[in-house]
Amino acid sequence: MPPVGTIHEGALPKGLRLTASDRPGQAQPVPTRDIPTRPWRAIALAALIVMVACVAGWEIWARSAGLRTADIGDSPQKWAEMRASVKPDDLVIVGDSRILFDTDLAHFQRLTGVYPKQLAIHGTNGRNLLENIAADPAYRGLLLVGMADTSYFRPVKAGAGVGAPWIDGYERNREPSQVTGLTLDRWLQQLFAFLDEDMRLSRLLSRVDHGWRKGVDSPYDDVWKVDESFPGRQRFMWGEIEKPGYLQTQARLAWGYFKGDPGTPQGIAEVIARSRTAVTGIRARGGEVIFIRPPSAPPLRVNEEKRLPKAKAWEALLAQVPAKGIHADDLPAAQGLDIPEYSHLSRTCATVFTDAYVRRLVTLNDRVRLRADAPPPLSTANCKGQLAGAPLRPN
């Protein structure tokens, strides 16, 4: 039965109304829209109650899974906002998830008085970000380029990975609607724990597939949530991954122990050549670049070394590019750190590693110095328990 008030023209089947396709070559009249005669107020109220109840249940479930409102998430818009805030003399960090998760920005600030602009992106090739900064004609600051070798020396044609749309979408993500959306998102993220990329319905649904089809990687084997995000694009490993158990094991398996094809000499040479061009450009404007290689656990490191031996990749890079480097192997205070899922440091060990590399950093350049009131050096022992220190404080 059509709604009351339905206006029918012509000889359409009962229940249909005419559209422009039924009236060729004529001025189209003001459209008619039927309003079904239903108890709309009661329906709306009941629908609202159902929606609120379901959202409340979902929120309780998310919190019981270990998600927190303090975790405000990261996004291309946040990256674009940070990228836009970079001033010519700023200290900037680029790279992949290792330098992103393994750097404690507040501790960096406690040591040096500088809160770096964190521009690293998970799943991304740091070289692309180095080139992005190098393409900025105004930039002449200190740029720290973090790397997981297998990511940094990925063939040039492979692109920037996860970060490609973040980098390419920079202009779009600075549009007024994106900026206002980001502001609202920040507010909501502080209220609801379920507003997490990894809690998206479609993402959870796809994970019910535990390898149903042979020959295809199951989404279940992909990395799920491994980190938390805080203001200033500070990201740390998620506490649930640090606990032995299913999530930690799953995260370890997700990395596949970094097995893969070895880097080719041509590929390595091309990456080094591109890096040299980018670094030379920054140095020509008075800037400086320092590479940093955070640690990885032995089960991964052995495969990383097979694919990209330190002498052929890291050392060749430093030999051919006008930049210095800090390798985790060369930092005594950064040995034996806790790397729960083999690729990224635990929350507290990230602070210890930051402490170690910043103390080395200040010896390699004169742009950042240790503050006179800098806290004493940390050691592996500080990885245990909760570290004291100022709360996270972005500029």
Partner 1 sequence: MIFNSLTFVVFFAIVLALHNLPFSWRQKKLNLLVASYLFYAAWNPPFVILLWVSTVVDWWAAQWMVRSERQSTRRAWMIISVVVNLGMLGYFKYGNFLLENFTLAVNAAGIAYQPHKWDIILPVGISFYTFATLSYTLDVYLRRAQPAKHFLDYALFVTFFPHLVAGPIMRPTELVPQFEQPRRASANMILFGLTLLTIGLFQKVVIADGLLSPIAESVFDSPKVPLTLDAWAGVLAFAGQIFCDFAGYSTSAIGIALALGFAMPDNFRFPYAAVGFSDFWRRWHITLSSWLRDYLYIPLGGNRHGPARTYMALMGTMLLGGLWHGAAWTFVVWGGLHGLYLSVERWLKGRFGGWRPTKAQLFGLAILTFMAINVTWVFFRAKTFAGAGTILASMAGHAPGGVPLLPGFDLLAAFTVIAAIFLSHWAMRDTTLEAVIQRTSAWVLAPLLGLMAFLVIIEQGRGNAFIYFAF
Q: Which stretch binds partner 1 (CB under 8 A): 125-133, 182-190, 273-281, 316-324?
A: 182-190
Structure tokens, 256? 């596949």
Residue of 60, 138, 188, 253 that binds partner 1 (CB under 8 A): 188
Is residue 64 a contact point for partner 1 (CB under 8 A)? no
Nearer to partner 1, 47 or 311 (CB): 47
Nearer to partner 1, 48 or 284 (CB): 48
Between CA 105 and CA 122 the distance in angstroms is: 16
Neighbours of 60 (CB within 10 A): 12
Q: How far is the CB of 182 from partner 1 (least distance, A)?
A: 9
Q: For 375, how many CA atoms within 13 A lie in the half-sphere containing its CB?
A: 19
336 contacts: CB under 8 Å, gap ≥ 6? 380
Residues 31-50 that bind partner 1 (CB under 8 A): 31-44, 46-50
Q: Count residues contacting partner 1 (CB under 8 A)?
A: 73
Nearest distance from C-beta of residue 156 to partner 1, angstroms: 16
Task: Determine, following the binding rule CB under 8 A, whether residue 137 of this chain makes contact with partner 1.
Answer: no
E-strand spans in 38-169? 92-94, 117-118, 142-146
Of the candidates 84, 158, 208, 273, which one interacts with partner 1 according to CB under 8 A? 208
Smallest gap from Cβ 31 to partner 1, in A, equals 4
CA–CA gap between residue 292 and residue 328 (Å, rounded): 8
Residue 194 binds partner 1, judged by CB under 8 A? yes
Q: Does 296 bind partner 1 (CB under 8 A)?
A: no
Closest distance to partner 1 from the beta carbon of 255 (Å): 19
Residue 317: helix, strand or coil by DSSP?
helix
Q: Indicate whether 81 belongs to the interface with partner 1 (CB under 8 A).
A: no
Per-residue contact track with partner 1, 1 to 30, x per CB under 8 A? Answer: xxx--x------x-xxx-xxxxxxxxxxxx
Taking alpha carbons only, the member of 218, 216, 238, 217 closest to residue 227 is 238
Beta pairing, strands 227-230 & 234-237 = antiparallel
Q: Looking at beta carbons only, is 23 or 371 nearer to partner 1?
A: 23
Nearer to partner 1, 165 or 245 (CB): 165
> What dihedral do alpha carbons 84, 89, 90, 94 form, nearest 10°?
80
DSSP secondary structure, 54-96, as one string: HHHHHHHHHHHTT--TT-----HHHHHHHHHT--TT--EEE-S
